Structure 1
């Protein structure tokens, strides 16, 4: 073989060796970047972080503010919101979940009802580590599990003491307020502050029951209107009676005054006289003028 063949083979070997070294360098650099990224965690604005060592199960007591933190392999930073967030459990597939998350409960007679419920909440930054130690999971899982269960139990417990007309009517606000107070008391020691619990829509009542409720409400409104009309008529009649009685008493008083003092008649005539003498007065004087 010619010497040029050996020279080209040597060049190819050198190139292969060079590319291998370059690949090792690039691969090592990429690995270092990935390891470095995996060794840090970030706490986003509006949240506090809890650093947890998943290998030994250690939970750091101090909360982490916004920023980047060392989180080597085996360490995870959980974030909890310290600003107000809202979650709605509804039957709508276009809300926060594609499945029906509305609450089901019963009245005291066992009638099944449904309702959409929403909650606003935040985490006390001073108690965030306590909340994690209690539930050992992130905020989304706490909402889907412990918080939802507590709200459902509170609503079920109070609704079981009420009739459907009360739940749909004058106790609707009281029911959700009672549930809110119960849930607040339960979660406050763990740092989860339930700010407000409210109905996110109408309470769903079976159609036939709803018709009966509406018919009863209509009848009650009609009865109240009839009572108002009767009261108005009675008031008007009493006013007329009072006026007539007053007029009669006034006439009696005036008649008595005339009997005791006939000069009143002349005084009244003078009060009504326009000052003009009649054209034909006859033979005598005017009745209210004394002629001596």
Structure 2
């Protein structure tokens, strides 16, 4: 039996559990898993030594490090400000769906880094949003919302494709304008409504006047036609008709009269 001097450490006894713990740590640190929808980059002393898809993979404990990326479609929301064509401040909120492809993971990590959404995508969105918004006046942005989003979508798809990031689609979820501009828009709408109401009233009066003119012209034409019909021949025809009616009513007696106390008469056979 070994004698251990009080106050001394039995290193041999301690070495066994230390070695076992180290072995367990090495065993646990000698593999890594990549879940579905993700990819991983293995780094050895900071150098990329491989890219891995989903499943179980091995690595050197305490030497290799693993960086994982999602290859699923990711949605990010960005808020930015821009100036319109008429120099109005416009606040925008954009929703962007994007993803990376598994076979580009090494290039993405090397060129863009794991935080590419913050370092590349966000500045790109801000830059091109300002460029597109500057083409439109503030009051036309709302009515052209789909067109603005479509133009931004095309630009960002092309620009991010150069960085090997796939942009699926872009939507403008909100426009914000200054209170002064909103008040001016409201006043303009009220003025346009009043002008439209006045225009409608003028058109109504105009149509009523046109109807009266047409009615007067029709009446004048009718009177003119009546005057043309009452000709000399018509007058003679009416006289003949009157005479015929008088003959129809005659009872065959001749008129008689008294002159000098005598009654002349005419014999008619």
Q: TM-score, normalised by structure 1?
A: 0.61
- The Cα of 1:222 is off from its aligned counterpart by 4.2
5 Å-filtered alignment, 1:175-190, equals: 175-190=148-163
Rate the CA distance shift 1:113–1:11 in 2: closer, same or farther, 3 A.
same
Distance in structure 1 (CA, Å) of the matches to 2:138 and 2:100: 35
Aligned twin of 2:190: 218
Match of 1:171 in 2: 144
Partner of 1:201: 174
Residue number among 26, 31, 35 corresponding to 1:35 in the alignment: 26
Look up the SS of the partner of 2:127 in the other structure.
helix
Distance 1:221 1:29, change over 3 A: farther
Taking a change above 3 Å as real, the CA distance of residues 30 and 241 of structure 1, as seen in their structure-2 partners, is farther
Give the length in aligned residue pairs.
229
- Larger CA Rg, structure 1 vs 2: 2
Deviations 1:6-62 (A, max 9, x none): x9x96998xx85x962x4333322222222333323222222x242324262353xx
Match of 1:147 in 2: 121
Q: 1:52 aligns with which of 39, 42, 57?
A: 42
Paired with 2:16 and 2:96, the residues of 1 have a C-alpha distance of: 53
Moved more, 169-178 or 188-197: 169-178
- The counterpart of 1:87, out of the listed 54, 76, 80, is 76
Which segments of 5 or more consecutive residues in structure 1 lack a partner in the other structure?
1-6, 90-101, 260-292
Any conservation in 2 of the 1:111–1:164 contact (CA below 8 Å)? yes
Matches within 5 A, 1:1-292: 21=13, 23-47=14-38, 49-55=39-45, 57-60=47-50, 63-72=51-60, 73-89=62-78, 102-135=79-112, 137-138=113-114, 141-167=115-141, 169-203=142-176, 205-224=177-196, 226-227=198-199
Structure 1 Cα separation of the partners of residues 104 and 208 of structure 2: 67
Pair 1:75–1:108, CA change in 2 (3 A): farther
Q: Distance in 2 between matches of 1:226 and 1:33?
A: 89
- Is there any run of 5+ residues in structure 2 with no aligned partner, and where? 231-269
Moved over 4 A (4+): 9-13, 224-242
Residues in 1 aligned to 2:204 and 2:194: alpha-carbon distance in whole angstroms: 15
Structure with the bigger percentage of strand: 2
**What's the RMSD between the two structures over aligned residues?**
4.2
Query: 1:40, 1:238 → 2: CA distance?
Result: 93
Deviation of 1:184 (Å): 0.6
Q: Any conservation in 2 of the 1:84–1:122 contact (CA below 8 Å)?
A: yes
SS of match in other structure, 1:201: strand
CA displacement 1:235-281 (0-9 Å, x = unmatched): 78878988x69x98xx99xx9xxx9xxxxxxxxxxxxxxxxxxxxxx
Specify the SS of the correspondent of 2:82: strand
- Find the aligned partners of 1:12 and 1:182 in 2 and give their Cα distance: 79
Contact 1:155 1:175 in 2 (8 A): no
Residues 1:55 and 1:117: Cα distance change in structure 2 (over 3 Å)? same
